[in-house]
Copies of this chain bind each other. A is one copy, B any other.
């Protein structure tokens, strides 16, 4: 298991869905950064299920505590530790299904990998609840980026079969996303998406979705190719979110059916500086940021836990059986993944910013 991510800005995650709680240790926070519970809580609240028919009925306040690394309201340079408790835990159902792995879940693979010692309650350490730790760490990263003029904006562009009707501006994303439960920036598509979820839930089923994320204000030169390109590091982080099965940058899969003359972005002069005619590169050339917004799209699978009966194997008896997953689950995890994707994108960008700082030529001239 590897619960650590990052090179110069590093996060170490711990906790379980039905254990005492969830936490994260963040190394590399620059000293003097203003940190309080409120700024972290604000991000955590974006991820909370809220209370509606569209989300899980598990009710967690996710109240954050700062455990280390902050003194007089500012980071000290030492590791910052953040935790939330688990309050509303009900493990009864999981004892029953312990030996009948839920299709689409980590139940079977975790059981084999950990020789049956894994904590199976609520998915244990494979639970989507772990992403609260990403959001806590992301709150610090977002604050660091804000000081650098960098902003991260994600939004749902497809929910099940419903695609957002129109392109949205970054302003619309920042204005609309957290005003509706499906995290959609296109106001005309919100109701259709809500219905898609509600219908799935009514059918005892679930739906997947696609989320777009934009990182705005990125300076030219971030990314450490060959191996730690912007695409490599972002995808590495994003695939740690349970349920993510695809990612594309800029024109992505669409670009594969194009010709070069169509897909290439031209360099232009804008106010005496270099600009770009369009952004099919997703803000990245040769694995390095080119000054345009970094744009990527994330494919989230439908929640595997559904109340309709499914087929699996009873591992004790080694025979096929039918199961019904009770627990408390979101009929789509795509909306709740939006702040998680923002958080991890921020963590990656801070790490790349720091790595650029440490490896750039200016170290030679301006010690």
- What is the CB-to-nearest-CB distance from A212 to chain B, in angstroms, rounded to a whole number? 12
1/0 per residue, CB under 8 A from B, across A136-160: the answer is: 0000000010011000000000101
1/0 per residue, CB under 8 A from B, across A224-264: the answer is: 11111101110111011010111111111101111111111
Q: Is A175 an interface residue (CB 8 A)?
A: no
1/0 per residue, CB under 8 A from B, across A92-120: the answer is: 00000000010111101110111101110
- Which one of B245, B289, B310, B354 contacts A264 once the chains associate, using CB atoms below 8 Å? B310
In the complex the two chains form, what is the Cα distance from A76 to B76 in whole Å?
33
Number of this chain's copies in the assembly equals: 4
Q: Is A19 an interface residue (CB 8 A)?
A: yes
Given A104-B285, A363-B357, A364-B147: A76 and B114 interface contact (C-beta under 8 Å): yes
- Which one of B117, B147, B277, B358 contacts A355 once the chains associate, using CB atoms below 8 Å? B358
Within 8 A of B (CB), among A317-332: 318-320
In the complex the two chains form, what is the Cα distance from A251 to B300 in whole Å?
10
> Taking CB as reference atom, which chain B residue is nearest A133?
B226
Q: Is A87 an interface residue (CB 8 A)?
A: no
Which of A52-60, A176-184, A202-210 contacts the other chain? A202-210
The reply to whether B117 and A361 contact each other, CB–CB distance below 8 Å, is yes
Q: Is A294 an interface residue (CB 8 A)?
A: no
Within 8 A of B (CB), among A281-319: 281-282, 285-290, 299-306, 308, 310-313, 315, 318-319
> Taking CB as reference atom, which chain B residue is nearest A220?
B112
Given A76-B118, A367-B353: A264 and B313 interface contact (C-beta under 8 Å): no
The reply to whether A117 and B32 contact each other, CB–CB distance below 8 Å, is yes
The reply to whether B257 and A161 contact each other, CB–CB distance below 8 Å, is yes
> Taking CB as reference atom, which chain B residue is nearest A285?
B109
Set of chain B residues within 8 Å of A121, measured between Cβ atoms: 71
